[in-house]
Amino acid sequence: MMLLTTEEQFTVLFDQGCREYMHRNLDAAYMAWNEAMRVAVSEGQREWMAVVASNLQRLSYELLVEEGASHLEHGELQKAFDAFKLAHDVAVKAKNAAWERDMLTAQQNVQTALFHRCHEAALLLFRRAQKDMCNGAAATTVTEDDYFVLPGTDEMVRHTAAFVREWSCLLVLKEAIVVWAEATRVLARLSKVAAAPLKECVKDAVSQVAAFIAEHHFNATPPTGLTWFGTDAYLYHECILLSELWYDLVACSEQSLQHGLLSAICAAQLGELYVATFQLPQALVQLNKLVTYGRTHRSAVLEATGLTLCGRVHLQRADYALAEAALEEALRLWTELQSDSAAKVLTDDRAAGVWHRYDVALMDASAVTTGESAAASAQTTAAPESAAKTPANAAATVPDGLDGMESAIGQDNGSNRFRVEMHLPTDAVAVLANMCRHYKVCLLLHTYRYSAALEALENSLNEAYSDTLREKLRCNFTLSPSLDEIAAIAGVLKTPLVFYALTAKYNWAAEENVYTAEESLCMWVVAESREMRFVEVNLTRDFKCTLRGLIASLRQRLCVEPEMAMQADIITELPSRSWQEPLRVLYQACIYPILGYVRALDPQLLFGDGIITVVPSGQMWLVPFHALLNVKAGDQYLVEEVAIQMTFSAMQAAFAALSAERAQQRDLHPEVVVVQRDAHHGAANTLFYTPFPPNTDRSEQEGAAVAKMLSEGQVQPTRRRSRHSAPQSATLARKVVLVEDIESLRTVMPRARTVHIATATTAAAPLSQPSPTDKTASLPEDGGGLLMCTTAPMRDVGVMPAAEIAHMELAAEYVILTNTNMSPQHVDGIRDDVLGLARSFFGSGVPCVVAGQWCTPDMKPIVLFRHFYAQRCRPLPTSPADLAAHTVTLAAGSVRASSMRPSSTPQSQHSAREEEREEDREVVRHRALLLARSIRHLLAEEPAMRYQPRVWAGYCCIGTGR
């Protein structure tokens, strides 16, 4: 074999490299040219070195581009980016502008594709968290592995179901946020023009995460303890674990994502966990972030929420000055938010679209890189052109699952700022505002300002509901009356006003690591003489119980709720003994501290003809006042001593008094009895929640009995009073209309003088069950308090919603609802259907509603209301002798209270007697007194009813019975 010269060796190696390059065997070509470069260097041939160096640079560039394309095919975006970066370095060294441009384009396209991969992965994690959270704590299974060991001990404690669900969901959310943070770091490598729409995509997605957290953690019902956002469902050490996780979320949202909304929402949740673990200074730091964000971004809802929660923490720390300042500012914001314009905007925005689905779409990558990928076509050779186009088009080829996504970010974030209040639970604003007013009442009580506390309580009762009645009260009166105005209303009603409010003081028990609550029942008695007395009863210390526990025990022992029918333990007490004890305790707590003072104000209370107007709040609506037992009087029921009427507020009672006067001045109207004759209730049960199945037979029998008593009643003479004219005599002839369908009811009810409804009404579903009705309405009367009747031909469900009733013009003197069931879980809020239905009647002009707290299937309301209509159909006395005889009959020989009045001149005595007779006639026809006397007659005629309070104890007169 002949030895080749150096030139021949170089030529052979160079030609071999060219042949391999033509066959696209780049590795072999690189090895041949690299050997040729060694030969050229050894000979010092600059021309050879220049030629081979140029080829090696191009070959290195193409090898790196091919390697990057191979990584793209396998989905290894980071390795592809590294290869393109090395290719860019080769292009810079080769001083090839076209290569530099192509590699910059390829790098940006790969970064865009990498961003979309991160974004899609984060979205998948977010949707998984949504699915886990929507299942609810009841669907969460707690296994044997879900436990923790108490620090310092060997005791193993099983986790709660709420913690297991929250922990797993938060871990997924944290991973999603970390992936979005990585996507944000990827955007730092792109140009500002290319990164701008992608940043908006991340911002919108993270905003949806914040909205999701707010929707599932903000309270839709008032909290039962000190803390908010569901933190009272966790154990102490679970709160510690969750606070660490929420702290990581706050840090990631602040530092990596720099997303203020997510940081504020997470900080609020972290602050509540700090409150639950008695770290109040740290809680204030986190809750102030919510206030700061709300002020910076002009979000009144978040600012007011933060101020409310901060005010509660200051109140817990006894910093009353700071608490009052925070609560005053929060109340100002809540008042503005609940005004007409703000409420209308909120309603319109919620009705505009489905905001609770959180379907976040991805950006279309081709729209971002169209102009840049077009530049990749300018390559010098076909091979590098095809290789360079591969990474340039990589961004347009979105990973699997992204092709079907819609690009909705531009439409959602175009000109409208993201509003988290659109994603809050329906009643979140109302719950926060009402609790803020409650904290204000507690603050005033702690600082011994009892008159101001009463005025604040009255304002909170007037502002609680955003419905038609509230608007009419605002137009006709003031929602913030003074003590003198409240006393004037007591003078108009001619009864003392008794306000009830429940407060709690929370103390931290270091040994158990929990808050212990001292519950107190606060009572204000406002007399006609404008005197006010305040009484506070510590239920926890004096009776070793809570009001909620007393009511739950009573309702359970009376078997008035289907969920409470099954007993967990063996029953060791007879029924007659079991339900009596809660009634005795309720009498000692609610009535005994004030009854002596009330009797001193109204002498008629001594003879059973007195009336007390009770203004309850929260759980006090569930207290059966008529059935409270007086131990010192031999277990005498309160209804045997005094008549009770209930009202939503003093202003509502004043409005009802005007409605009563207006109803008495109207022409004669028929008396309407509503019954239900359809036996098919399947459709109704699927559309509405009812605690008990509808009882058609009971409705028909009750309606027929009421219609018969009204028809056979005597013609009733009466005297109609007027402010501007002398009393006029009138004869009322009864005309009874029996209504069996909803359309007829709509027709006759505006002309009805009285309405007796024997059909079923809807009830608020328990929180543990999904409600069949739509509770996403902005106003309580839009979604609750429905009047229900069914029609047989088509088996349709006829519904008269509370909103429709509220906008009617009714002139009925009273409405009786015999088949109603109040919800213990909803009377604290604004979603109880029975209270909502009663408010709708008040808003339409009805002064009095007689309704029941419960109506079980074995009850027959006609047993009680037979006595009610027997007294009502009795003609009113017109002469003094008849009036005296009537009074003696009803009072069972009691001494007239008017006989104790001092004598005066003959003329004044005559006018006083005339006025007294008119007042006596009003007392005789007072609905609350009629109901009380009906119960007394029932107890007198059927002694067994004394031991069956379930039949009559739940019915109460709401409004003004005159």
CB 844 within 8 A of CB 883: no
DSSP 152-215: TS--EEEPPHHHHHHHHHHHHHHHHHHHHHHHHHHHTTS-HHHHHHHHHHHHHHHHHHHHHHHH
How far is residue 153 from each of residues 214, 469, 590, 881, measured CA to CA in Å? 36, 58, 45, 83
pLDDT per residue as tens digits for the range 897-928:
333 334 444 444 445 444 544 444 455 578 99
Q: What is the mean pLDDT of residues 931-955?
A: 95
Indicate if the alpha-carbon torsion angle 581, 582, 587, 589 is positive or negative. Answer: positive
Q: What is the mean pLDDT of residues 445-471?
A: 96
pLDDT at position 17 over 60: yes
- For residue 609, give the nearest of 232, 259, 127, 933 by alpha carbon: 933
- For residue 297, give the nearest of 263, 266, 274 by alpha carbon: 263
- Distance from C-alpha of 960 to C-alpha of 654, rounded to nearest angstrom: 8
Q: Which residues pair with 508 in a beta bridge?
A: 515
Q: Which residue has the higher pLDDT, 869 or 63?
A: 869
> Would you tell me how many other CB atoms lie within 10 Å of the CB of residue 79?
16
Q: What per-residue confidence (pLDDT) applies to 781? A: 61
pLDDT at position 213 over 70: yes
Q: What is the mean pLDDT of residues 113-131?
A: 93
106 confidence band (pLDDT: 50, 70, 90) = confident
For the ranges 135-144, 259-268, 822-831, the one whose mean pLDDT is highest = 259-268
54 confidence band (pLDDT: 50, 70, 90) = confident
pTM of the model as a whole: 0.83
Q: What per-residue confidence (pLDDT) applies to 141? A: 78
CB 810 within 8 A of CB 844: yes
Q: What per-residue confidence (pLDDT) applies to 372? A: 37
- Provide the angle, in degrees to the nearest 10, between the axes of the packed helices 650-664 and 483-493: 40
pLDDT per residue as tens digits for the range 704-756:
999 999 988 755 555 555 545 555 555 555 689 999 888 888 899 999 999 99
- Distance from C-alpha of 864 to C-alpha of 942, rounded to nearest angstrom: 11
DSSP 539-601: HHHHHSS-HHHHHHHHHHHHT-SGGGSS-SS---S-HHHHTHHHHHHHHHHHTHHHHHHHHHH
pLDDT per residue as tens digits for the range 277-324:
999 999 999 999 999 999 999 999 999 999 999 999 999 999 999 999
pLDDT per residue as tens digits for the range 350-391:
544 443 434 444 444 333 333 333 333 333 333 333 344 444
Q: What is the mean pLDDT of residues 813-837?
A: 91
Q: What per-residue confidence (pLDDT) applies to 353? A: 42
Residues whose CB falls within 8 Å of the CB of residue 258, separated by 6 or more in sequence, listed in order: none
Q: What is the DSSP letter of 733?
A: -
Q: What is the mean pLDDT of residues 646-658?
A: 97
Domains parsed from the chain with CATH numbers? 146-182+192-352 (1.25.40.10), 673-719+729-896+909-959 (no CATH)
Q: Which residue has the higher pLDDT, 747 or 139?
A: 747
795 confidence band (pLDDT: 50, 70, 90) = low
Report the side by side order of strands in the sheet with 611-615. Answer: 532-538, 514-526, 497-509, 611-615, 643-646, 955-959, 848-852, 814-817, 754-757, 671-674, 736-739
pLDDT at position 276 over 70: yes
Q: What per-residue confidence (pLDDT) applies to 408? A: 37
Q: What per-residue confidence (pLDDT) applies to 831? A: 85
Which ranges constitute the DSSP H helices of 359-408?
A: 365-374, 382-392
- Distance from C-alpha of 768 to C-alpha of 834, rounded to nearest angstrom: 19
Q: What is the mean pLDDT of residues 605-625?
A: 90
- Distance from C-alpha of 583 to C-alpha of 622, rounded to nearest angstrom: 12
pLDDT at position 404 over 60: no
Q: What per-residue confidence (pLDDT) applies to 21? A: 72
Q: What is the mean pLDDT of residues 523-550?
A: 94
- For residue 392, give the nearest of 374, 378, 380 by alpha carbon: 374
- For residue 197, give the nearest of 365, 422, 71 by alpha carbon: 365
CB 786 within 8 A of CB 800: yes
173 confidence band (pLDDT: 50, 70, 90) = very high
Q: What is the mean pLDDT of the chain?
A: 81
Q: What is the mean pLDDT of residues 441-461?
A: 98
Distinct helix (H) and strand (E) counts, the chain:
36, 19
Q: What are the backbone angles phi and psi of residue 521, rounded to the nearest 5°?
A: -105, 115
pLDDT at position 1 over 50: no
